[in-house]
């Protein structure tokens, strides 16, 4: 139901409210004066505070002011035996959710509590809905008829039914976040929040406070208590993008969250339990990072329960026409008539199919958006396409191969050709596998997999 702090200098009132609220299912903490109340608020975040106005020392109005500075999301109800309109008005101006006058009926208090918490819930829900709408943006771009993508779709359907941690790998621009969204929005958690964290966009200290939240005064600039993104994702999914960018110190804390499903806020003293589905992603080879000592091995295995690898666009070229059609519909509508869509002619499409798309689907989408704007008529032609895409060289032809009367062993021919090209690429690159993979327009993962087929067993 939530955590409630009751503040009153009269023990009978504290006990009455505590008993009533506990029966309703709330977690209740009591304080007999304003000073104790402020200590409690500085130590943890409450959903609701019910405070008497008239108290010796720090009165209820001073408690209200400080709570709104420390924990602005906390709802506060003021109780007073004095029906002074100005006191009620002052409390509401300072951010009180409501007030109630002594003596009061229990049902009256229940109604005020329900209304105050409902307002707080709606504010949080609006924030989460806004995040969800932003998360859904671009979800429609996740399409593909190629065999590699069909395998990805099948795996997503299986994964969505579980709470197992997912690790999505693939080059930048392949759509890792779209996979995470697909898992979430096809799961029983689809009505819960989907929270994205770009681990590579924030420095370590800021990333920790964003993930786990913080208490007022925990560091310079921590002017109020703040819930973290793990708490915001409670009941839903948290997507940790570019997980490889985290430091070893933060990786230890992430490991604890995965193992125990609990954490502490920065500057906090009590553990907070959360129910979240964790999905992580990386454009780096995490096993290589583990071998270099840059990523914890135990965290890798905790994350890699269900791996999903996204192929680069150059390995799923059957999907390029589909994606072009999608992006043409998307960006043509921006220019006017929603029923009108630009087209792409055959020569331009051939160039797009020949290009290797190092920036993957993201690069293709950006290119189509640009061409929709700069092409004057309703068709995108070869002359509209800028370098280096327009100068893309198609895959080299094998020449006029003939099939002898006795036939040909195609598997052996292709295997020998692949083995020879892998060897030549390694020679050209001085043995550097990442450079050799680039020469063959392969991802490092694909290059390594092909190479392993021909390595002698040790």
Domains of the chain and CATH, by start? 3-128 (3.40.50.2300), 138-311 (3.40.50.300), 314-391 (1.10.8.60), 410-452 (1.10.10)
Phi/psi of residue 445, nearest 5 degrees: -60, -45
Longest Cα–Cα distance of the chain, Å, equals: 107
CB 380, CB 371: distance < 8 Å: yes
Q: Is the peptide bond before 388 cis (omega within 30 degrees of 0)?
A: yes
Tokens 């918490």 sit at which residue? 117
Helices 85-93, 60-70: crossing angle, 10 deg rounding: 10
| Among candidate residues 221, 142, 147, the one with its CA nearest the CA of residue 184 | 142
Measure the CA–CA gap between 142 and 162, rounded to whole angstroms.
21
| Helix, strand, coil share of the chain (percent; to 5) | 50, 15, 35
- For the entire predicted model, the pTM comes to 0.63
> Would you state the torsion angle of the CA atoms of residues 370, 373, 378, 380, taken in this order, to the nearest 10 degrees?
-30
| Among candidate residues 280, 28, 334, 311, the one with its CA nearest the CA of residue 148 | 311
pLDDT digit of tens for each residue in the chain (458 aa)? Answer: 688 999 999 999 999 999 999 988 889 999 999 999 998 988 888 889 999 888 888 998 999 998 888 888 888 998 877 656 567 778 888 888 888 888 888 888 888 888 888 887 777 766 666 555 544 544 455 788 888 898 999 899 899 989 999 999 999 999 999 999 999 988 999 888 999 999 988 887 789 889 998 887 778 777 777 888 999 899 999 999 999 999 999 999 999 999 999 998 888 878 888 899 999 999 988 988 999 899 999 999 999 999 999 999 998 999 999 999 989 988 886 545 555 678 999 999 999 998 889 899 999 999 999 998 888 788 998 888 887 787 665 555 454 456 777 777 788 778 888 888 888 888 888 888 888 888 888 888 888 888 887 775 54
Give the Cβ contact number of residue 89 at 10 Å.
11
* CA Rg value for the chain: 30
227 forms beta bridges with 213
Q: Which helix (H) or strand (E) holds 107?
A: helix 106-136
């Amino acid at each position: 139901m939530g955590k409630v702090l009751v503040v009153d200098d009269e023990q009978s009132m504290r006990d009455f409210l505590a008993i009533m609220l506990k029966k309703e299912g709330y977690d209740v903490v009591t304080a007999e004066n304003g000073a104790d109340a402020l200590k409690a608020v500085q130590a943890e975040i409450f959903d609701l505070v019910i405070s008497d106005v008239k108290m010796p020392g720090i009165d209820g109005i001073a408690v209200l002011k400080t709570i709104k500075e420390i924990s602005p999301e906390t709802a506060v109800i003021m109780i007073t035996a004095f029906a002074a309109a100005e006191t009620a008005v002052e409390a509401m101006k300072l951010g009180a959710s409501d007030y109630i006058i002594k003596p009061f009926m229990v049902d009256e208090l229940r109604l005020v509590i329900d209304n105050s918490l409902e307002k707080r819930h709606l504010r949080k829900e609006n924030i989460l809905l806004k995040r969800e709408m932003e998360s859904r943006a671009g979800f429609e771009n996740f399409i593909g008829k190629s065999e590699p993508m069909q395998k990805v779709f099948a795996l997503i359907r299986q994964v969505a039914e579980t709470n197992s941690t997912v690790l999505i790998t693939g080059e930048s621009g392949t759509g890792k976040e779209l996979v995470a969204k697909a898992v979430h929005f096809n799961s029983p958690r689809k009505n819960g929040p989907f929270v994205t964290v770009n681990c590579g966009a924030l420095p370590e200290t800021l990333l920790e406070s964003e993930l786990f939240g913080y208490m007022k005064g925990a560091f310079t600039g921590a002017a109020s208590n703040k819930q973290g993104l793990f708490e915001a994702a409670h009941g839903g999914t948290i997507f940790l993008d570019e997980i490889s960018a985290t430091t070893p110190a933060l990786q230890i804390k992430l490991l604890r969250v995965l193992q125990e499903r609990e954490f502490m806020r920065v500057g906090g003293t009590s553990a907070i339990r959360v129910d979240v589905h964790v999905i992580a992603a990386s454009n780096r080879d995490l096993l290589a990072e583990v071998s270099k000592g840059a990523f914890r091995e135990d965290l890798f295995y905790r994350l890699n329960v269900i791996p999903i690898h996204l192929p680069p666009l150059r390995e799923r070229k059957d999907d390029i026409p589909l994606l072009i059609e999608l992006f043409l519909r998307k960006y043509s509508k921006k220019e006017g008539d929603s029923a009108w869509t630009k087209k792409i002619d055959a020569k331009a499409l051939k160039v797009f199919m020949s290009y290797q798309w190092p920036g993957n689907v993201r690069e293709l989408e950006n290119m189509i958006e640009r061409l929709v704007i700069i092409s004057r008529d309703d068709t995108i032609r070869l002359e509209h396409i800028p370098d280096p895409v327009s100068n893309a060289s198609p895959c080299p032809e094998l020449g006029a191969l003939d099939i002898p009367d006795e036939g040909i062993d195609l598997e052996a021919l292709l295997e020998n050709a692949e083995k020879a090209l892998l060897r030549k690429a390694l020679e050209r690159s001085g043995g550097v596998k990442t450079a050799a993979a680039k020469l063959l327009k392969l991802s490092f993962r694909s290059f390594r997999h092909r190479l392993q087929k021909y390595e002698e067993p040790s």
